[in-house]
Amino acid sequence: MEHVPALLRRYGLLNLNKDQRFLISPRALHAIVDAAELEPSEVVLEIGAGVGNLTRLLCERARKVYAMEKDRQLMGVLQSELGDIDNLELICADALEAELPACDVVVSNLPYSIATPLTFRLLEHEFDRAILTYQLELAKRLTAKPSTKSYGRLSVMVQHHCDVRMVARVPKGAFYPPPKVESATVRLVRRPSPYVVEDEALFFELVRAGFEHRRKKLRNALAISASFPLGAEYLRSLSAPELDMRAEELTGAQLASLANIVHRKLKNAGAIASASSR
């Protein structure tokens, strides 16, 4: 494919959005495709196709590729350069808002500014594997363990749904224009949660509230959360060692165990209230 800077000049795309970074390193591009381990029968969703240098490689391996790009000027480049590829469907849309097509594998060089909300959105979408390139700091958060600086809500949520590993670091020079920070490619493999969660919405809310006040012990962090369903009085009555620790010190399994205790407390309280109203 034509060198990306020359391609952009040919199409008159000289004033790029500051968040637009095009992966140009052949080594990094092929590493992403190899990490996807695509089968000829599989369907791929690529988010942020850019000028299509990764898209073309994906089309060579997969049965079908949906390439999503919200920038209309870049979509024009994709239509001109790749429009004749039979197993490619181009979608001009914002991945944070549009309906995402069904797929087996998600591949994306995530724009730094939307990487976190887009990751949460993808966790609600069905896929088998995802190969995602992030700012290095964010990639470390996905793979982080408890009691480390990088561990947080995103770590728990991603690891609740997926096995996660960092595939490779991606240097600044692998992009055009080069960013100010390093990046990393991460592989997510969907699997059932390794621990029991009795009420997933409650578990997610507990994790959100706990990390919103990450320096407070959970008993206090949950008590001051406006959206958590148990108030301070109920929380004082609960006996659970996790409540006297910070969210950042607990594994997903420990947070789930606490959420299950709260769920049973709420369920029992509801049953008692229902019985007393008869």
Which residue pairs from 197-201 have beta carbons closer than 8 angstroms and sit at least 24 positions apart in sequence?
197/160, 197/256, 197/259, 197/260, 198/259, 198/260, 198/263, 198/264, 199/259, 199/260, 199/263
Question: Is the domain of 133 the same as that of 214?
Answer: no
Structural domain of residue 158, as residue ranges?
Answer: 4-190
Question: Is the domain of 204 the same as that of 115?
Answer: no
CA dihedral 216, 218, 222, 228 (to 10 degrees): 140
φ, ψ for residue 132, nearest 5 deg: -125, 135
Question: Is the domain of 176 the same as that of 219?
Answer: no
Give residue 1's pLDDT. Answer: 56
Q: Tell me which residue of 64, 59, 129 sits closest to 101, measured CA to CA.
A: 64
**Gap between the Cα atoms of 266 and 216, Å rounded:** 23
- CATH number, domain at 15? 3.40.50.150
Question: Is the domain of 161 the same as that of 39?
Answer: yes
Question: Is the domain of 70 the same as that of 205?
Answer: no
Q: For the segment 60-69, what is each residue's pLDDT rounded down to a tens digit?
A: 999 999 999 9
Question: Is the domain of 217 the same as that of 168?
Answer: no
Q: What is the pTM of this model?
A: 0.91
CA 42, 47, 49 angle in degrees (round to 5)?
100
Identity of the residue numbered 115? A
Task: Please report whether residue 211 resides in a domain.
Answer: yes
Q: What's the token pair of residue 119?
A: 């990751």
Give residue 276's pLDDT. Answer: 40
Question: Is the domain of 120 the same as that of 186?
Answer: yes
Q: What's the token pair of residue 7?
A: 């391609």
Q: What's the token pair of residue 113?
A: 């500014």
Give residue 40's pLDDT. Answer: 97
Question: Is the domain of 139 the same as that of 219?
Answer: no
Cite the annotated binding site by residue number: 23, 48, 69, 94, 109
Burial 143-177 (b: 16+ CB within 10 A, else e): bbebeeebbbbbbbbbbbbbebeebbebeeebbbe
Question: Which residues of the chain fall short of a pLDDT of 50?
Answer: 271-278
- CATH number, domain at 222? 1.10.8
Cβ–Cβ < 8 Å for 155, 249: no
Render 157-220 in DSSP notation, one character per residue. HHHHHEEEEEEEEE-GGGEES--SS-EEEEEEEE---SS--S-HHHHHHHHHHHHHTTTSBHHH
Cite the annotated binding site for S-adenosyl-L-methionine by residue number: 23, 48, 69, 94, 109
Question: Is the domain of 157 the same as that of 209?
Answer: no
Cβ–Cβ < 8 Å for 108, 132: yes
Number of domains within the chain: 2
Task: Please report whether residue 195 resides in a domain.
Answer: no
